[in-house]
Amino acid sequence: MSFLEDVDVDAAREPEPFRMPVQWVNRPHQDFRGFSGTISAGIVTVGDQVRIQPMGTIAHIQRIAHYDGDKNAAARGEAVTLVLDREVDVSRGAVICSAQQPASVAERIEAHVLWMHESPVQPGRQYLCKLGTATVPAVITKISGKIDVNSMQQLTTEQLEMNEIGICVVQFESQIPHDVYTTNRHMGGFIFIDRISNETVAAGMIISDVSIARNITWQQHDVSKATRSALKNQKPGVLWLTGLSGAGKSTIANLVERALAAEGKHTYILDGDNIRHGLSSDLGFAAADRIENIRRVSEVARLLTDAGLIVIVSLISPYQSERDRARRTIVTGEFIEVFIDTPLAECERRDPKGLYRRARAGEIRGMTGIDSPYEAPSNPEMHIETVNRTPEESAIMIVEWLRTHGHLQA
């Protein structure tokens, strides 16, 4: 036997803090509640004090259940069920870890990202990020550079192509427990999954946390959203009209606002073209710019609903994931997705701005429906087909939906 075969690799490791991502909550009956998973780092013993991240709750290990029977201790690589000494709120994706050396918790991290999809990275587009046992929505907000795999030098870039390794800032939708990859590859490695195709599009390794300003506080005011809404005698909401260019969104939005104004209701239209003249005048029409435009519009819509208004958004918004993200920005129950469904052939026949003609002639790139996809809503609150319906009839349908669902109080 060679010298290398005598080396105890695990003994040569530096002591590592305990980590166990929770895979599932084990509750076969009301008298037993444990948390099952595979230990990714360190050792745990009965009586140890642990911290559950991201909540930060402290508890002690009461039992370590194993298929061979209870154990006094368990180490990296073992699948166990941990029973705590008190009731705590723990679910899949949480991490039980050393109380003295807990896993980090952050909403934003910097990472090396290996891009694996034939289409380049679209900063701002939402993906599903799987890290440990947690799966959360996430976006790449910034590409700081990329690594030349031959020289290992960092190069400046704002784009990441297939098989390139970038240095990226990743924003999670919620706080997520993690370690840096060099410390714990199980807690520091992640993958990105496309929300539509379910394909794995990237793999990442966490470098560090990215600090977020913590010295800001949401300022509470005496006049509430409920008071503003009551003064207007209406329930606020966001009518999000989506569809191809030429589908009739702007025309229908205008008719809806006229009808609501006639009833004394308080509204505001956020029209895609008008937004481009001011709020988004610095954005183009590349996928990343469109995604950022939708993010800005949804944030403005949220503020306007806080003022008690009924907001009418008229925006192509071609990606389902971005419309879903807008929905999550708005208070639950106040986002109303309206699919203005007009076939591409009919939109091209109308072509009120001449965009389709120019796209077919190669003068415009990235035209939705021509060389850029449109993802039709999967489950909109309203689906309005316009071919055999006038814009006035479509507007009436929307107003009546608002009335039926309590947005227009008498």
Q: Are residues 268 and 303 in the same domain?
A: yes
Selection from 58, 68, 63 nearest residue 44 by Cα: 63
* Alpha carbon distance 368, 363 (integer Å): 14
Q: Are residues 367 and 235 in the same domain?
A: yes
Active site residues: 317
Selection from 360, 333, 330 nearest residue 345 by Cα: 360
Phi-psi region of 264 (alpha: psi -120 to 50; beta: other; left: phi over 0): left
pLDDT of 216 = 64
- Domain of 13 in residue numbering reads as 3-98
Q: Are residues 245 and 328 in the same domain?
A: yes
Selection from 230, 232, 231, 234 nearest residue 399 by Cα: 234
CATH number at residue 73: 2.40.30.10
Q: Parallel, antiparallel, or unpaired for β 382-385 and 335-341? A: parallel
* Predicted confidence (pLDDT) per residue in 279-330, tens digit: 999 888 776 678 888 989 999 999 999 999 999 999 999 988 889 889 988 9
Q: Are residues 202 and 343 in the same domain?
A: no
In a domain, 219, yes or no: no
* Alpha carbon distance 7, 158 (integer Å): 45
Mean pLDDT, rounded, for 329-349: 94
Cis peptide before 54 (omega within 30 of 0): yes
Adjacent-strand bridge partners of 143: 168
Q: Are residues 120 and 89 in the same domain?
A: no
Domain boundary among 42, 73, 98: 98
Overall number of domains in the chain: 3
* Predicted confidence (pLDDT) per residue in 241-288, tens digit: 999 999 999 999 999 999 999 999 999 999 999 999 999 998 887 766
Selection from 173, 168, 176, 120 nearest residue 140 by Cα: 168
* Alpha carbon distance 111, 325 (integer Å): 23
